[in-house]
Amino acid sequence: MTAFNLPDVGEGLTEATIVQWRVAVGDTVAVNDVLVEIETAKSLVELSSPFAGTVTELCVAEGEEIEVGTRILEVAETAGADSGAASDSPSSSADATTQASESGGANLVGYGTVGAPSSRRSKRRAASAPQSTPAAAATPQAPNCAAKPAAAVSAPAAPPASTAPAAPSAHTTDRQRVIEGQAQMPAGTGSASVTGLPVLAKPPIRKLAKDLGVDLNRVQPSGKSGEITRQDVVLHAEQARVFHNIETPEWGDQREERHRVTGVRKQIAQNMVRSMFTAPHVTLFVDVDATRTMEYVKRLKASPDYADTKISPLLIVAKAVIWAIRRNPTTNATWTDEEYIVKNYVNLGIAAATPRGLLVPNIKDAHTLSMRQLAKALETLTITAREGKTTPTDQQQGTFTITNVGVFGVDTGTPVLMPGEVGILAFGAVRPKPWVVNGEVQVRQVTTVAASFDHRLVDGDVASRFVADVATILEEPALLLD
């Protein structure tokens, strides 16, 4: 019997919430199979198994918040398996998980799908059920699990002893043939895509398509094996305008709903309170004629050099912010009561609305990137955040933040500083509006820029120059070529 304790996933955090179990009692797991998805204050994290065997107990229920070192699962190890974890202590469980990660298998930061697909796990479970399930049932409960009967998850009924190992399904076989380009869509295996073949897409891509409201059957795949890629989904979603409400949901069945404040929402609340009651905010606003920026964006979209890259006005705003920071360096700093630290580099944070709440990943050393490199970095950051794959490292060490409220059709706002930063800029919607040009009223593409600063360090003249510099670039992006 081997216990799996909640490890320290390297974020310096002491607690996490069980989001979703990926295994059930009686399942047979192999090394590196994903066991559970947890939520910390910074990200969603998948924990992989450092040992092989049969799951005998789930000690914590989904939705429960627990501390690092808490026993969450027990496994009856397979005889002779090299588990790498032979102790019930919290440290040994964490060490075993770390060893698995260093060997290239365990997935502790939520990137990709490392464990075996659910279909493969189901086949293993069906094949081993007659032998493993009675043994699991006869295994005595561990003291830690027995102490928490309310949280423990009960085992499902054991399958009949006559259950035969599941053979590979026709769907799986046909799928492999399609990957190899050898088969057409067989009758009765599901809906056909635009190619007439089964839809081939990895789980993260399917989740992205669901979030974007994209029907994968209508997406033209561009992958080497006929699979749908991230770029295919994004392009089909028309530059990923995903956060406009598609439909109005029905009222909930309950008159009131109570939700525990945990994970990302808890961290957001603490950060915002700390920022507002620590840093004296000052916010400046300016209306900008962004017509030439929109024309520049249109030219970039038509350029072959940017054919595989998502281009939006946010790219020009990001370049403008970096340019303005260079001219006003104290806007890119950290304040303490003893000193302030001016950063001669820009880790540019981009506020991203996700199903889990507001995340602010940042592009490291954004000041060193070319226009095309910055465009690719923005695209990767946005897609990663919407897929829920943003890591804690992605959100650390930011120096300045941009929040793009214009994507929601909002003109502007008064953004709140990220803790540890002294500046943040809000970019509003770009709309056709009347504008005076050379004494005549014309219809121009107009936006509003707002920027908040920590007034302990950023004086009014510096803040004003910064906002004016950003406006200057949006009015004439050709200045970036200087």
CB 411 within 8 A of CB 446: no
CB 397 within 8 A of CB 44: no
Known catalytic residue: 367?
Answer: no
**Residue written as token pair 């559970």:** 36
Q: Which amino acid is at 88?
A: D
**Active-site annotation holder among 171, 236, 281, 455:** 455
CB-CB neighbours of 27 under 10 Å: 24
Cα distance between residue 77 and residue 56, in whole Å: 10
Cα distance between residue 343 and residue 456, in whole Å: 17
Containing H/E element for 427? Answer: strand 423-427
Q: Which amino acid is at 394?
A: D
CB 398 within 8 A of CB 421: yes
Q: Where are the beta strands (DSSP E) in 290-416?
A: 333-335, 340-342, 348-350, 352-354, 357-359, 362-363, 400-404
72 Cβ contact list (under 8 Å, min separation 6):
4, 5, 6, 18, 36, 58, 59, 60, 66
Active site residues: 455
